[in-house]
Structure 1
Amino acid sequence: MQKRNYNESFLSMGFTYITDREGTQKPQCVICQKVLTNESLKPSTLQDHFRKLHPKHKDMDVAFFKRKEAALKISRIDSTGYCSRQSTAATEASYRVALRIAKERKPHTIGEMLILPCAKEIVTLFCGEEAAKKLNILSLSNNTVQRRISYMSNDVKMQVVEQIKNSRFPYFALALDETTDVASCAQLIGYVRYVLNDTVKEEFLFCREQKATTTAKDIFDEVDRFFTEEGLPWEMLLAVCADGAPAMIGAQSGFKALVQKKCPEVIWTHCAIHRQVLVAKTLPLELKEVMAVVVKAVNFIRGRAVNHRIFRELCNEPI
């Protein structure tokens, strides 16, 4: 098979190259330092790598990638591999801290403002100042933490999509919900259920911001765009679960009608939580009166901070 050769124009796509022992050139991403195969030395594959893993860097100029390439080459100079190991450890540590920040839902600035200074003080006390200086190469800035979390999120999404595609039963079900967060941003959230190794798995699939309106067509276009980007065929969609909003279940122009044009055999189910809410509206009179009192009491307590504090102190008083 004919080997491909590196072209200088590939640097504008964020790729330099390395040469293995057999003299084969392989592309290496200057952002994540991942080395691809020789067969990947073609513009479409390199652009696809950047589009999926580094979307925020795809419009950077050549000067930016040249600086990244220079830093990458410097890390290769040390023949002992010490610089390389040190850089790898710093990158891994940065990812681990970013993952913890994301799990705890803390501000991205906490890494640079709190975690890193605390780590330096602890290492200084236990191991001395020389050991603490090694932490200076650890990058935990606001932008770095945000970028690390984005990379890990994209990687998890790619793993889920690949598992769906490679499943022996390549059908999947989708659960959708459209909600508005505290910043008044409309978010479309999707969960997927599929079969992997004879086990049913349920995973978070995507969260897409709705820029303007949230009509049935807007929701359908967003889902269709995601399916197209990730290569998921509509024909493999087995079932959809959503709430009872008119935009979702409208028989003529709702999301349900638009989906059924793509896959007529799709099974439509109603969200169990919304069913419980609907059932609560038809409670017997005795239960409805009790529920009304409970709801009124909870709203009163949570309506004002002072009410909540007084109620908390009341609960802590000894009987």
Structure 2
Amino acid sequence: MAKAKKKCRQYSVDYLKYGFVPSEADKQLPMCLLCNKVLSNDSMKPSKLEDRLKRCHTDKIGKDLKYFQTLKEKYEKRPTMHSMFASTSQSNDDGLRASYNISLLIAKSGKPHTIGEQLILPAVEEVLKNCFAQISI
């Protein structure tokens, strides 16, 4: 006996009028913009999406497409963990690069690594102290 092939629905842009966008994890699954729940592919029928909107989000029934478009834009622009960590890591790159370059110069000189603590750190502190003293004047 041959197995019946399961029908897999594709997301349609018309589903936005019911408050659904494709899930980030799997583009074939709908995600509710109002409660961020990902539903199964079986519930991608327009009648089931409309029914869920009526059952779970009764206050949003009369909303037009423009309302759901603005919700989608807000959802796409929201801060994510990736975007927050990406911005902080970029600001730390300069200090990390300077530290690496100093370590590389010490290694190339053939001196012990303690020379950085004895010579370079006091020199950098002196330069920074003088630079910030001039800026504050």
Q: TM-score by structure 2 length?
A: 0.51
Q: Are 1:62 and 2:75 an aligned pair?
A: no
Instruction: Give the count of matched residue pairs.
Output: 80
Aligned position for 1:15: 20
- One-letter identity of the residue aligned with 2:11: Y
Q: How does 1:125-274 map to 2 (within 5 A)?
A: none
How far off its partner does 1:80 sit? 6.2
Aligned position for 2:107: none
Q: Are 1:45 and 2:48 an aligned pair?
A: yes
CA contact (8 A) 2:11 2:27 kept: no
How far off its partner does 1:74 sit? 2.1
What is the DSSP-based 3-state SS (H/G/I as helix, E as strand, rest coil) of the residue aligned with 1:72? helix
Match for residue 71 of structure 1 among 67, 70, 74: 74
- Which structure has greater helix proportion? 2
Question: 2: CA distance between counterparts of 1:68 and 1:79?
Answer: 21
How far off its partner does 1:29 sit? 0.9
Aligned position for 2:29: 26
How far off its partner does 1:25 sit? 1.3
CA contact (8 A) 1:28 1:36 kept: yes
Question: 2: CA distance between counterparts of 1:81 and 1:29?
Answer: 24
Structure 2 residue runs of 5 or longer lacking an equivalent are 1-5, 86-137
CA separation of 1:78/1:41 partners in 2, compared to 1, >3 Å: closer, same or farther?
A: same
Question: 1: CA distance between counterparts of 2:24 and 2:32?
Answer: 14
Greater CA radius of gyration, 1 or 2? Answer: 2
CA contact (8 A) 2:9 2:44 kept: yes
Question: 1: CA distance between counterparts of 2:62 and 2:56?
Answer: 13
CA separation of 1:81/1:42 partners in 2, compared to 1, >3 Å: closer, same or farther?
A: farther
TM-superposition CA deviations, 1:200-235 (whole Å, max 9, x none): xxxxxxxxxxxxxxxxxxxxxxxxxxxxxxxxxxxx
Q: Are 1:35 and 2:54 an aligned pair?
A: no
CA separation of 1:51/1:7 partners in 2, compared to 1, >3 Å: closer, same or farther?
A: same
How far off its partner does 1:67 sit? 0.9
How far off its partner does 1:19 sit? 4.3
Q: CA RMSD in A?
A: 2.2
What is the DSSP-based 3-state SS (H/G/I as helix, E as strand, rest coil) of the residue aligned with 2:15? helix
Q: Percent of aligned positions with the same letter in both sequences?
A: 28
CA contact (8 A) 1:26 1:41 kept: yes
CA contact (8 A) 1:19 1:25 kept: no
Give every structure 1 segment of 4 or more consecutive aligned residues whose post-TM-superposition deviation is greater than 4 Å: none
Question: 1: CA distance between counterparts of 2:24 and 2:13?
Answer: 15
- One-letter identity of the residue aligned with 1:10: Y
Question: 2: CA distance between counterparts of 1:17 and 1:76?
Answer: 19
- Which structure has greater strand proportion? 1
Aligned position for 1:6: 11
Structure 1 residue runs of 5 or longer lacking an equivalent are 83-319
Aligned position for 1:89: none
CA separation of 1:58/1:2 partners in 2, compared to 1, >3 Å: closer, same or farther?
A: same
